[in-house]
Amino acid sequence: MDNDVYRHVNNVVYYSFFDTAVNEYMMRQGVLDLESSPVVCLVVDTGCQFFSPIAFPDAVHCGLRVAHLGNSSVRYEIGIFRNDDALAAAQGHFVHVACDRATLRPVAMPADLRRALGALQ
């Protein structure tokens, strides 16, 4: 995932940054077990705006907040920062829907997940 032929991190990698930031937060809060959580969150919408390039070996930092918390969905907004820059190199959004692991059908968000996400509002 280093530099592409244009000598910067390719745009698709930013979506990986989003996914990592969101899932790491949920794991650190103890509300996501990748192997056994009965409820999983599936991405239904995502987007990104790019402002300035990031290139290896830059350090990447992600800022994460919850913009909307519904019954079964959550919209995250994520800022991607290069090194110690005060301005974001990119910003995006990521919408998760809480789903039953077995059926992949939407379900109400579990209370512990809702509490953890509410802390980011």
Report the pLDDT averaged over residues 10-27.
Answer: 93
C-alpha closest to that of 74 among 100, 103, 41: 41
pLDDT in tens, 80-97: 999 999 999 999 999 999
User: Reduced to 3 states, what is the DSSP secondary structure of residue 77?
Assistant: strand
> What percent of the chain is predicted at pLDDT more than 70?
99
Sort strands 60-69 and 73-82 into parallel, antiparallel or unpaired. antiparallel
3 state SS for 36-68: CCCEEEEEEEEEEEECCCCCCCCCEEEEEEEEE
| Comparison of pLDDT for 64 and 3, the residue scoring more | 64
Tell me: pLDDT of 49 over 80.
yes
State the pLDDT confidence band at 1, using cuts at 50, 70 and 90. low
Report the pLDDT averaged over residues 32-48.
Answer: 94
Provide the mean pLDDT of the chain: 95
Within 10 Å of residue 52's Cβ, how many Cβ atoms? Answer: 12
In the structure encoding, which two tokens stand for residue 89, read together?
């190199």
Q: What is the pLDDT of residue 88?
A: 98
Which domains does the chain show, CATH number per domain?
11-118 (3.10.129.10)
Q: How many residues does the chain have?
A: 121
Query: Which residues make beta-bridge pairs with 19?
Result: none
Q: What is the pLDDT of residue 74?
A: 98
Query: Which residues does 15 contact at the CB level (< 8 Å), separation at least 6?
Result: 46, 48, 92
**pTM score of the predicted model:** 0.90
